Amino acid sequence: MYTELSIFIGYVCIIPVISICTNGLIKDILLYSHALGISCILYLLINQVNTTTTEKNELYGLRHLLFNLRLPPTTLWFNMGLWDKPDLTFPQACENLVHAVAKVMDIKPVSTVLDVGFGCGDSCIVLAEQYTLKVTGITNELSQWRIASDRISSTKLKDQITLIHGSADDLNQHISSTEIYDYIVSIDSAYHYNTRWDFLKNALTYLKPKGGTIGLYDLCIDSEFLKEVSSMQYSFLKLICKASHIPIRNLVTVEEYQKRLVDMGYEKIEMISLDRAHVFGGLSESFNDQYNTVMKYGIGVSLSNKIFLKGSSFIFGLFGTKPWLVPVIVKGEKA
């Protein structure tokens, strides 16, 4: 299974190279051959029998794993994580990233915070429980909003956390202009917004004057990469951005990002670049380990999720070793 998935990912990654670097009959032949190859690999993956769960002639095998899985999970984190300590689990790394942003923001207890793009609520829980904050969260993912609402409604934090289903692209449609917050956070989501710059302008409306602080974990494009990038490399990056729903105009250098914040009226701006290996590299290894564990214990995972795990591990592995993207913690205050 590992070999077939690796070949499949390799086939998919070569397609943009063929599209850019060839033309005419040669391009048509190569694309057709790749389509046949991808179809064959998908057929093998779909019809492959997983013998891990129940070996031949075994009565039960490992089916009892299903009885021991804890559902729902105790955490439902979904950010890139900060892997700057040894032996972190995925939930620990995700929480570690929230703490890193909160530390840069110098968050004080008994304050109010707007958490934009909160996923399934784990960041809201950490902010409310460990920082004693009154939390309002907003996300445009309906399934995640439902899960988060259900989780929090049965906890002692239900009166401390308010969750809204809505988009960061139009905060004014979901949050009254009279609502003012001490802090606004957006951890690992702002690069998806259409656009991030509109969100940052609108966020000023909801920050407390003279010290209201915004904090983000975000992505920038490497300035050296922009100087030396080939058309093929840039096209490949654009393809990844399109597949990941990242508007390409959101990817600017650290310097350009800071300049835009200044132009909007933010002050006391901090742009802290993180080690790629401590973000992308750690996440890549985590996804790969999770995939191997799933296969080892024969836990039923759909083909699309297997491809997601291996494909994500491959892409983040590239980001961890190639000087393309810069993971950053961003902080700015309202004047």
Place of tokens 């929090």: 152
Q: 271: closest CA among 289, 254, 287?
A: 254
Distance CA 183, CA 41 (A): 49
Mean pLDDT of the chain: 87
Class of domain 90-279+325-334: alpha beta
Please give the pLDDT value at position 68.
84
CA nearest to 273, candidates 259, 247, 253: 253
Orientation of helix 254-264 relative to helix 196-206, angle to 10°: 40
For CA atoms 23, 26, 29, 32, give the dihedral sign. negative
Residue 69 corresponds to which tokens in the numbers above? Answer: 């899985």
Indicate the domain borders of the chain. 2-71+285-321, 90-279+325-334
CB-count exposure of residue 234 (10 Å: 0-12, 13-18, 19+): middle
Beta bridge partners of 207: 181
Residue 149 has a pLDDT of: 97
Encode pLDDT of 70-94 as tens digits. Answer: 888 999 999 999 999 999 999 999 9
3-state SS assignment for residue 95: helix
Per-residue pLDDT of 300-327, as tens digits, reads 677 778 878 888 898 899 899 988 999 9
**What pLDDT score was predicted for residue 2?**
52
Give the residue with greater pLDDT, 229 vs 212. Answer: 212
Q: What is the pLDDT of residues 20-42, one digit of tens each?
A: 666 776 766 666 666 666 666 66
- Give the pLDDT confidence score for residue 49 in this predicted structure: 44
* CA nearest neighbour of 272 among 188, 220, 328: 328
What is the pLDDT, as a whole number, of residue 123? 98
From edge to edge, which strands make up the β-sheet containing 266-273?
A: 161-165, 134-139, 112-116, 183-187, 213-221, 325-334, 266-273
Distance CA 124, CA 157 (A): 10
Burial of 62: CB neighbours in 10 Å, binned 0-12, 13-18, 19+: middle
Q: Does 174 score more than 90 pLDDT? A: yes
Token pair listed for 331 = 């902080």
| Residue 67, CA distances (Å) to 73, 167, 296, 325 in order | 14, 38, 17, 42
Q: Read off the pLDDT of residues 237-277 as tens digits, 9 standing for 90 and up.
A: 888 888 889 999 999 999 999 999 999 999 999 999 999 99
pLDDT value of position 28:
66
* Cβ-based neighbours of 79, under 8 Å, separated by 6 or more: 94, 97, 98, 119, 123, 187, 188, 217
